[in-house]
């Protein structure tokens, strides 16, 4: 089940910060039609850090309902509090999620043993497939491959999203863990490379705006068709950089707004894309064939 192209879906909002469920349903339909294998709802790209608990659970509930078993539904249930992550994971199982994605606890900077105990507790208490998520550039904590190796002995821990982008880390994870769990890229810029090496897929920010292309890159790279995958990836590779021109998900929400898929909404402390970057990202979107000049 857990292979291919997954989108780290944004959470659509109105300008006042309220959640726009009509646009959320439209985004889910868009991804089903475009071939996305699965949706990660309320992960970090979905502004999990700025949604309160009730909003978090309601967005998960609505997303799972809109997906309606057409593609895989993965719930973002990570938190820097183990008790909160545990409760969100319980809730997601009850709502019918296919799996959960749990980011490493941010800011606290737990030790490797703390990370191990955090994930082990959740895996022991909630019987649902769980995917670890390591993104040290955002959380200030790096989960080492040896810690992942210990965790992947647990039947409920079935994968990891590795977003360091480091080739040596990718190779080490593949060598130590690939026979036990599925390894996903969480870094669009290096996803094709990692899938060609043996990663099972990509959990993507870029897929928010070009899901068909990301689906095809993952499919071709998984089949070992490097040249064909490179042709498609080259068309959109500028987006892998420019969608991070400000903190994610600021740029991707601006792009989706220009595609008329969501309203102009984001929650503080995140703000709308600065005007000095809008021309740069707009040019990249046009170059990739996502929008036209008339959309700006």
Catalytic residues: 133, 161
Q: Is 246 in contact with 261 (CB distance < 8 Å)?
A: no
CA angle 251, 165, 226 (to 5 degrees): 95
Strands (E), 68-185: 72-76, 99-103, 130-134, 157-162, 182-185
**By the 8 A CB rule, do 127 and 166 touch?**
no
Q: How far is CA 133 from CA 103, 153, 180, 218, in A?
A: 4, 16, 16, 19
State the chain's maximal CA–CA distance in angstroms. 53
Tokens matching residue 11: 């959470």
- In this structure, what is the dihedral angle of CA atoms 96, 101, 103, 104, given to the nearest 10 degrees? 100
> Where are the alpha helices (H) located in 104-160, listed in sequence order?
112-125, 136-139, 145-151
Consecutive H or E run containing 236? helix 226-242
3-state secondary structure of 83: helix
Helix pair 82-95, 53-67: axis angle to 10 deg: 30
State the Cα angle at 8 between 216 and 57, rounded to 5°.
145
């Amino acid at each position: 089940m857990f292979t291919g192209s997954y989108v780290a879906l944004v959470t659509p909002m109105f300008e006042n910060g309220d959640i726009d469920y009509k646009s959320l349903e439209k985004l889910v339909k868009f991804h089903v039609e475009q071939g996305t294998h699965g949706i990660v709802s309320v992960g970090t790209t979905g502004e999990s850090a700025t949604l309160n608990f009730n909003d978090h659970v309601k967005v998960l509930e609505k997303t799972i309902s809109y997906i309606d078993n057409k593609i895989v539904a993965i719930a973002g249930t990570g938190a820097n509090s183990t008790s909160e992550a545990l409760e969100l994971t319980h809730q997601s199982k009850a709502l019918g999620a296919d799996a959960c994605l749990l980011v490493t606890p941010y800011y606290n900077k737990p030790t490797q043993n703390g990370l191990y105990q955090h994930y082990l507790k959740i895996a022991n208490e909630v019987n649902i497939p769980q995917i670890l998520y390591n993104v040290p550039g955002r959380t200030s904590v790096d989960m080492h491959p040896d810690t992942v190796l210990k965790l992947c002995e647990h039947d409920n821990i079935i994968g990891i999203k590795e977003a360091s982008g480091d080739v040596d880390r990718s190779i080490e994870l593949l060598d130590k863990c690939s026979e036990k769990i599925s390894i996903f890229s969480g870094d669009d810029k290096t996803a094709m490379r990692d899938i060609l090496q043996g990663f099972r897929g990509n959990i993507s920010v870029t897929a928010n705006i070009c899901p068909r292309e990301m689906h095809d890159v993952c499919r071709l790279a998984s089949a070992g068709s490097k040249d064909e995958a490179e042709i498609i990836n080259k068309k959109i590779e500028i987006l892998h950089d420019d969608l991070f021109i400000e903190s994610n998900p600021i740029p991707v929400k601006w792009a989706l707004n220009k595609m008329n898929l969501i309203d102009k909404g984001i929650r503080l402390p995140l703000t709308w894309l600065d005007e000095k970057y809008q021309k740069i990202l707009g040019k990249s979107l046009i170059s990739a064939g996502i929008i036209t000049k008339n959309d700006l």
